[in-house]
């Protein structure tokens, strides 16, 4: 049984890792879609699209790994959460359809119709980001479980808190998108991205603050986790680190160091994500199902562990290579340089 406990924890970290990689990789990608309406010029839009066209598909594969991996490693949690998050998940899927096909479709059509696919790209990205944030909030606030089933209605997820987390993720992705543009573009496009990053950083700090204040009110367990002695020794560094990273990010924006803001924003996401983990652990469905209750049998978790141990480093290797191939600034009209 002890072996199983360790395996379940290990798998919780693997799934958390996959979801985090998804959030940071598809985050900037969705963020570009969210910012799209602010860049009406065709030349800018072509550059923005070309900056992620070679990698967006790989980014979204992490979402499939998060979902598929959860079904494999924690089938009970998958079976409870998916019906509970029914509407946001369907909305997210539809959003991803619109933005995903736009990558190719917008090049295959006339100017007037291209605008339509640009709207699909922007709208789909916003819908997907909002739905993911709402799903996150809905998980945090807990779902109604009876036995091995979800026992609530199909609108239970809709609360002021889940709307707040939806908006928070939308803002966060937009910041990732803006700092990605700082990294990958130049000239006026980059100047505009710098300006946007500045505003979005303050917006993001604002929503992080609001979510952090609201979360302890959801469940007494969250309050205890964060503020009880001696936990606070371990939890207090998280907000302090957020403040430090925020200051560094602000400075990098002010001093215009193209390569830094994106990675500092990733650090901000990492810290927020760690905060989430602190709140949730060891529950996978908060306050109802722990990772051990949801874990699939050892035979399944071990079988997959072998694959993960060999394949994930390989995947990170060739994905890194693909990013390396398309490194550097993207310029208008001529793709990569």
Quote the least distance from Cβ 45 to another protein, whole Å. 12
Number of alpha helices (DSSP H) and beta strands (DSSP E) in the chain: 14, 6
**C-alpha torsion angle, residues 155, 160, 161, 166 (rounded to 10):** 80
**Residue 121 interacts with another protein (CB under 8 A): yes or no:** no
- Interacting residue with another protein among 48, 65, 167, 289 (CB under 8 A): 65
Select from 146-154, 205-213, 250-258, 260-268 the region that touches another protein (CB under 8 A).
146-154
Based on CB atoms, which residue is closest to another protein, 17 or 103?
103
Question: Using CB under 8 A, which residues numbered 288 to 307 contact another protein?
Answer: 296-297, 299-300, 303-304, 307
Name the β-bridge partners of 331. Answer: 335
C-alpha neighbours within 13 Å on the C-beta side of residue 256:
9
- Measure Cα distances from 232 to 228, 235, 237, 239, 261 in Å: 6, 5, 9, 11, 29
- Measure Cα distances from 46 to 210, 223, 331 in Å: 36, 47, 9
Question: Using CB under 8 A, which residues numbered 11 to 50 contact another protein?
Answer: 46, 50
Query: How far is C-alpha 177 from the geometric centre of its chain's CA atoms?
Result: 12
**Residue 107 interacts with another protein (CB under 8 A): yes or no:** yes
Select from 31-39, 257-265, 278-286, 311-319 the region that touches another protein (CB under 8 A).
311-319
Name the nearest CA neighbour of 52 among 184, 175, 174, 169. 184
Contacts with another protein, residue ranges (CB under 8 A): 46, 50, 53-55, 57-58, 60-61, 63-65, 67-69, 71-73, 75-76, 78-83, 86-87, 89-90, 93-94, 96-98, 100-101, 103-105, 107-109, 148-151, 153-154, 296-297, 299-300, 303-304, 307-308, 311-312, 315, 318-319, 321-322, 325-326, 333-336
């Amino acid at each position: 049984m002890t072996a199983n406990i360790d395996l379940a924890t290990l798998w919780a970290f693997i799934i958390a890792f996959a979801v985090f990689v998804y959030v940071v990789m598809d985050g900037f990608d969705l963020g570009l879609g969210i910012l799209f309406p602010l860049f009406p010029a065709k030349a800018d839009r072509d550059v923005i699209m070309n900056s992620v066209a070679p990698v967006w598909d790989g980014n979204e594969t992490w979402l499939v790994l998060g979902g598929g991996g959860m079904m494999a490693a924690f089938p009970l949690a998958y079976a409870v959460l998916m019906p509970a998050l029914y509407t946001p998940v369907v909305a997210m899927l539809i959003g991803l359809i619109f933005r995903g096909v736009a990558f190719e479709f917008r090049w295959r059509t006339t100017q007037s119709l291209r605008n339509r696919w640009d709207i699909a790209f922007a709208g789909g990205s916003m819908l997907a980001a909002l739905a993911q944030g709402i799903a996150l909030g809905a998980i945090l606030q807990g779902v109604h479980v009876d036995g091995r089933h979800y026992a609530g209605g199909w609108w239970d997820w809709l609360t002021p808190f889940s709307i707040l987390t939806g908006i928070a993720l939308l803002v966060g992705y937009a910041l990732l998108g803006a700092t990605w543009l700082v990294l990958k573009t130049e000239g006026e496009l980059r100047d505009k991205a710098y300006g946007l990053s500045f505003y979005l950083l303050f917006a993001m700090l604002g929503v992080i603050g609001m979510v952090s204040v609201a979360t302890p009110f959801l469940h007494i367990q969250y309050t205890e986790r964060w503020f009880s002695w001696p936990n606070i020794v371990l939890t207090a560094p998280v907000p302090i680190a957020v403040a430090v990273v925020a200051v560094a990010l602000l400075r990098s924006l002010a001093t215009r160091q193209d390569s830094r803001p994106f990675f500092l924003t990733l650090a901000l996401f990492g810290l927020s994500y760690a905060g989430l983990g602190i709140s949730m652990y060891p529950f996978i469905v908060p306050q109802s199902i722990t990772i051990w209750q949801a874990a699939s049998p050892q035979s399944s978790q071990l079988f997959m562990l072998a694959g993960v141990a060999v394949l994930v480093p390989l995947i990170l290797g060739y994905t890194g290579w693909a990013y390396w191939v398309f490194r550097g600034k993207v310029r208008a009209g001529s793709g990569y340089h």
